[in-house]
């Protein structure tokens, strides 16, 4: 079974600074997808970024980028130029690209990020 671990329950950062959130996962699959979702106080789950395991290039989305280390099974999220609106719970998630998982997302426990002015 796949597992996703986020070892940082809480993080804080000053506005305009850079912060990195950690995520590790465990799987025996070779092809899969990884995601970071953001859940602000409204509780709406919002996709931040997606990485396909067969792509070596790290995904980027404006101020958000990932450091994907397949051999180490590590998938960290870097937020540059942090903004107050980035304050949220961030979840790392995994899904198998094939097999019988049928797109099931396995989530980590989440990291609460607070951006201070």
Partner 1 sequence: DGGITQSPKYLFRKEGQNVTLSCEQNLNHDAMYWYRQDPGQGLRLIYYSQIVNDFQKGDIAEGYSVSREKKESFPLTVTSAQKNPTAFYLCASSIGPKGTQYFGPGTRLLVL
Measured between alpha carbons, how far is 58 from 47 in angstroms, rounded to an integer? 16
End-to-end CA distance of the chain: 41
5 binds partner 1 (CB under 8 A): no
| Least distance between partner 1 and beta carbon 34 (Å) | 11
Residues 6+ away with beta carbon under 8 Å from 86:
38, 79, 113, 115
Measured between alpha carbons, how far is 105 from 96 in angstroms, rounded to an integer? 8
| For partner 1, the closer CB: 57 or 102 | 102
41 binds partner 1 (CB under 8 A): no
47 binds partner 1 (CB under 8 A): yes
- Looking at residues 52 to 111 of the shown chain, list those that interact with partner 1 (rule: CB under 8 A): 91, 97, 101-105, 107-110
| For partner 1, the closer CB: 55 or 104 | 104
Give me the half-sphere count of Cα atoms (radius 13 Å) on the Cβ side of residue 75.
32
50 binds partner 1 (CB under 8 A): yes
Strand partners, 108: none
Q: Which residues bind partner 1 (CB under 8 A)?
A: 4, 33, 35, 37, 42-47, 50, 91, 97, 101-105, 107-110
């Amino acid at each position: 079974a796949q597992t996703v671990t986020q070892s940082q329950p809480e993080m804080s950062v000053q506005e305009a600074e850079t912060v990195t959130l950690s995520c590790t996962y465990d799987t025996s699959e070779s092809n899969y997808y990884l995601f970071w979702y953001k859940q602000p106080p409204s509780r709406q789950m919002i996709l931040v970024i997606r990485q396909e395991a067969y792509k070596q290039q790290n995904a980027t989305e404006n101020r958000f980028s990932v450091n994907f280390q397949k051999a180490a099974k590590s998938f960290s999220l870097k937020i540059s130029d942090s903004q107050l609106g980035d304050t949220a719970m961030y979840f790392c998630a995994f899904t198998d690209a094939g097999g019988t998982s049928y797109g099931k997302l396995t989530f980590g426990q989440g990291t609460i990020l607070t951006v201070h002015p």
